[in-house]
Amino acid sequence: MSLIELTGIRKSFRMGDGELEVLHGIDMRVESGEFIAMMGPSGSGKSTTMNILGCLDTPTSGRYILDGQDVGDLDGDELAMIRNKMIGFVFQGFNLLQRTSALANVEMPMLYSGTRAKERRARAKEVLERMGLGDRMSHDPSQLSGGQQQRVAIARGIVNRAPILMADEPTGNLDSKTSDEIMKLFQELNEKEGITIALVTHEPDVASYSGRIMHFKDGLITSDEPNGRKGAQQRDLIL
């Protein structure tokens, strides 16, 4: 059984007196340990699909099986629990708490999972050190560069040891050099730690780090092909 299975997923939003359907029947399977990139123009349905994958939204119809669990059978509390246990998130805007240290930001997901304070602090320090931020733990977001803020966000996304990391345009606010550094970090998490990564991007350079690229258009997946990481390998040679 696949880690992620979407079958016939449709999603509609109410618009005035009518409804606008933005997903028209999405079928997708993702195996444990894959690194997928979802590409497409604005309005293509990729971010709506990501929200459904992340249990942040529910489909109008269709079936979503996550690690053998039918997500459609879960209530709000159970959805929150599965998000906390199974999925880490990284967003374009970082979504860090301001006036709060990098360490406290990373500890946040563990508050909801009931992790004891001592373990929370130890694990948060460990992942921040892995992100190269051992000397920035006490800094709040305003004292960090964009790349450092995104590293804090990634640390927060993996600190609960969730098997899936979902990233929505994670390099959208970063320059090219910093984007490359962040994408190499995602690649390392995937290859060395086996974290399954689902990434939304409109940039081919970013998608080139993935192992599989899905193209979205008009609420449908129009292509789904292995990538082979040729682009990433070529970039490594250049850098």
State residue 226 phi and psi, 5-degree precision. Answer: -60, 145
In this structure, the number of other CB atoms found within 10 A of the CB of residue 2 comes to 15
Share of the chain above pLDDT 90, in %: 81
Q: What is the mean pLDDT of residues 212-218?
A: 97
Start-to-end CA distance of the chain, whole Å, equals: 39
Cα–Cα distance for residue pair 164/89, rounded to 1 Å:
9
> Where do the domains of the chain lie?
4-238
The reported pLDDT for the residue numbered 94 is: 85
**DSSP assignment of 111-156:** HHTT--HHHHHHHHHHHHHHTT-TT-TT--GGGS-HHHHHHHHHHH
Please check the confidence at residue 233 and state whether its pLDDT lies above 50. no
Please check the confidence at residue 183 and state whether its pLDDT lies above 60. yes
3-class SS of residue 200: strand
Averaged pLDDT score across all residues of the chain = 91
Q: Looking at the domain covering 4-238, what would its CATH class be?
A: alpha beta
The predicted-structure confidence for 54-71, as pLDDT tens digits, reads as follows: 999 999 999 999 999 999
List the single range of 45-49, 59-63, 81-85 with lowest mean pLDDT.
81-85
The reported pLDDT for the residue numbered 221 is: 97
Count, residues in the chain:
239
The reported pLDDT for the residue numbered 113 is: 79
As given in the structure block, the two tokens for residue 126 are: 């460990």
Model-level pTM?
A: 0.90
Angstrom distances, CA of residue 143 to CA of 51, 129, 135, 193, 224: 30, 17, 12, 30, 41
